[in-house]
A and B are shown apart, each in its own frame.
Chain A
Amino acid sequence: MSEPLLVLDNVTKNYGAIEALKGISFSIGKGEVVALLGDNGAGKSTLVKIISGGLEPTSGRMLFEGKEFLARSPAEAKAAGIETVYQDLSLCTNVDVVANFFMGREITRKVLGIPVLDERAMEAVVSKALASAGTRIPSLRTNVEHLSGGQRQAIELNRFVHWGGKLVLLDEPFAALGVEQTRRGLDMIRQVASQGIGVVIITHIMQQAFQVADRIVVIRQGVVAGDVARNKTSPDAVINMITGETLAGAGPAG
């Protein structure tokens, strides 16, 4: 494996008496695509939120680029270079495509010392980013509420591709996409990873995981039930790990 980007060491999360995560340990390398699989309620989304600063872990530690890391807010995670695409879309439907693309990172120029939005510069960046990804949206000045589910998800995917950072977390990013758009989305992920960015993708669809991931990590009942390279396992073996028919950590040749 390449140099580790993020290392999780025995991360736990309790909600009152309920142990959502009972001690998760795995790592993600630079330029590596890790598919995070698991049944509903296994703790995948909780884990993503902990890495992305939406939740704080109860115990355990994380190392990001070799240094102790804990994001207390999404802003901190972002500052460290961690981008997240959430399952429920994180778009403000009341503003236009450009505003959503730049949410919180607007390009400004100073007028009398006051930061003023540079709409033209932002629009140029967005139209370039969307064009290079092959996404067509009639007007970048349309409010997102008037766009289709697929277009919205495309905006969000293009957004992470554009901003990149060092690590990208994707929580079921293709839920609203058609076949062709999903294929393009998977291409995007490979393209991002080839730039040395680590990618964690949560999915329910085995085929997607096997298409895109270098490594497959299975979480079951709050622990890592399997951590295997894609080319050393098979969909059937992974399904067994998810449902718990094989012992923790067991892959066919792992």
Chain B
Amino acid sequence: MNPRTRHALELILDNLVWFMLVFVLVVFSIFIPNYFQLGIFANIIEASSVLGVMSIGLALVIIAGHMDLSVESVAALSAMAVGILFCSSGIGLGVQLHPEWLMVPVSLLLALAVGGLIGAFNGFLVVKVKMSAFIITLASYIWVRGLVLVISGGRSAQDLAPAIRWFGIQRLIGLPLTAWIAIACFVVFSLIMAKTPFGRHLVMIGGNETATFRAGIRVNRNLIIAFVLAGAIAGLAGWLLAIRTSGATANLGVGLLFNAFAAVVIGGVSLKGGVGTLPGVYAGVLLLSAINTAINLMGLPANFTQVIHGLLVLAAVLLDAFKQTIRQRLA
């Protein structure tokens, strides 16, 4: 095989999800009436912003060889914290700051801090106390959601302050600012993972933790940072969720975790760690969103979505195994 075909093949294998996304979009555009519209495509991107942001954090931790099941509950807690402070009806306290725009950074920092703290807690237990990330973050998934119920009393907060809502309403080139925030997150974290020593180290830790420790990489420090980032990013997802729904309910975001997992796996991230890239994850998120939109447009019952997501995850895992065999032949 000459180098050029090898390169071409490797390029296709590395970006398989993107090709799948394009394929799916083309097929839907041809066969589903009204699918091929800029508005629909904008909607696909818009609808995937919260899930997309959450998937980034999850992917970081999984690539580093661990797991964070708590991202969904963390997002809900951050959203609830923002909702309670800055909503004017329901359980909202309606806190006003002057000037009004000050509420934006304050609410954002609050959401990030809530998420970051829980991430630090998870990371500390996993890394320093050496407990399984699966169990620790499963516990967090449960108790953080419980905390949401406790502080909200099961009720909801509505009417988020307009200054914050502005991000969900204001559009730039057809997309709301919340969607741009998600895209910006993907760009920034993709660059961090691909171009900085920190990202490179996370990938290597996910591949062989012992080797990286022996090589003098500060494994524990990097892993705790990854957990804190995952938490803070989940907090950001919660902030976006609060904006999107203009408030927070006690069961906000339930089920997002499994969609995030699906997106991460479809995006080519291996649950064994060390394999996967963030652009792939974004393609996975968009793929899920494109399929949801198609189901809506075709008027199929929404329950089909779950069946299709499940099958997609299966297909992604099988495809991954297939990719491995091809790669082995290439080398």
Residues of A within 8 A of B (CB): 52, 54, 73-75, 77-79, 84, 86, 89-95, 99, 103-106, 108, 114-117, 138, 142-143, 146-147
Is A74 a contact of B213 with CB atoms below 8 Å? yes
Number of B residues near A (Cβ < 8 Å) is 25
Q: Does B195 reach chain A (CB closer than 8 Å)? A: yes
Is B331 a contact of A146 with CB atoms below 8 Å? yes
Complex Cα gap A117–B328 (Å): 27
Q: List, in ascending order, chain B residues with CB within 8 A of A114's CB.
A: 196
Q: Does B181 reach chain A (CB closer than 8 Å)? A: no
Complex Cα gap A88–B200 (Å): 22
Q: Which residues 200-239 of B have a CB within 8 angstroms of A?
A: 200-201, 203-204, 206-208, 210-218
Q: Which residues 21-64 of B have a CB within 8 angstroms of A?
A: none
Min C-beta distance of A15 to chain B, whole Å: 18
User: What are the 5 tightest A-B residue pairs by CB atom distance, in nearest-first order?
Assistant: A146-B331, A94-B207, A75-B216, A94-B274, A92-B207
Complex: chain B residue closest to A138, CB-CB:
B331
Q: Does B327 reach chain A (CB closer than 8 Å)? A: yes
| Contact partner, B196, options A73, A117, A142, A146, Cβ 8 Å | A117
Q: List, in ascending order, chain B residues with CB within 8 A of A78's CB.
A: 215-216
Is A115 a contact of B196 with CB atoms below 8 Å? yes
| Contact partner, A116, options B196, B212, B213, B327, Cβ 8 Å | B196
Complex Cα gap A245–B225 (Å): 55
Complex Cα gap A195–B39 (Å): 68
Is B211 a contact of A117 with CB atoms below 8 Å? no
Is A115 a contact of B204 with CB atoms below 8 Å? no
Is A84 a contact of B195 with CB atoms below 8 Å? no
User: Interface code B251-263, partner A: CB below 8 Å = 1, 0 otherwise?
Assistant: 0000000000000
Is B203 a contact of A146 with CB atoms below 8 Å? no
- Given known contacts A91-B211, A99-B200, A116-B196, A75 and B218 CB-to-CB distance under 8 angstroms: yes
Min C-beta distance of A188 to chain B, whole Å: 20
- Given known contacts A114-B196, A117-B196, A95 and B207 CB-to-CB distance under 8 angstroms: yes
Is B208 a contact of A92 with CB atoms below 8 Å? yes
Min C-beta distance of A54 to chain B, whole Å: 7
Task: List 27 interface pairs A-B (beta carbons < 8 Å), by A numbering.
Answer: A73-B213, A77-B216, A78-B215, A90-B210, A90-B215, A91-B211, A92-B208, A92-B274, A94-B203, A94-B204, A94-B206, A95-B207, A95-B274, A103-B204, A103-B212, A103-B215, A104-B216, A106-B200, A114-B196, A115-B196, A115-B197, A116-B196, A138-B331, A142-B331, A146-B327, A146-B328, A146-B331
